[in-house]
Amino acid sequence: MKFIIAIGGVTNGGKTTLTNRLMKVLSNCCVVHQDDFFKPQDQIAIGADGFKQYDTLEALDMEAMVATVRAWVENPRKFALSHGVEATGTEIEDKDTDSRLHILIVEGFLLYTYPPLMDLLDQKFFISIPYQECKLRRSTRNYTVPDPPGLFDAHVWPMYLKNRAQMNVLDANIVHLDGRSSRESLFTEVFNAVQERLNTLL
């Protein structure tokens, strides 16, 4: 059995931290990070706001990302081996066929506005935090390419609001999470929801 969990949300909301925690407890689990699919810098358009438009689908090679997820769907064991993940199987197994459960986590900031990807996702989560909290967290992060002054207010936050509004129109089956909750609370909420969903499928 194959099951794909999506962890989406606002920048600096805690997506990667939550994903890494889930990876530790979900055996036979692989991950695909959306950040790995950014196009080269010289292919990122400059918008009317004067900033490179990183927070748009056009900045990402979404076809390649979908192809990667489909490669996992086609052969989870081969995918796991090629990504250095030991395919040991989980404690949760299909009661009828005794086949292994394979889990993929797809993590990123812009998962729910691209239908070809959304169609592949079995369970969707979205982490939100308020403007001030997000701006504070973003300002304390060290990026390989530092944010130019004004980027957050002129591009990052407006695009987040735009993408979130589009997401809400496209898919109502997304579990919303409060990123101000403790890491343990977020993990527990998501882990329990995943376990509950899997129990209905196995």
- Catalytic residue numbers, as ranges: 35
| Cα–Cα distance list, 170 to 123, 163, 164 (Å) | 15, 10, 10
Q: How many whole angstroms separate alpha carbon 130 and alpha carbon 120? A: 29
Residue type, 121: L
Residue type, 100: R
CB 127 within 8 A of CB 186: yes
Give strand ranges (E) for the chain. 2-9, 29-33, 102-108, 123-128, 174-178
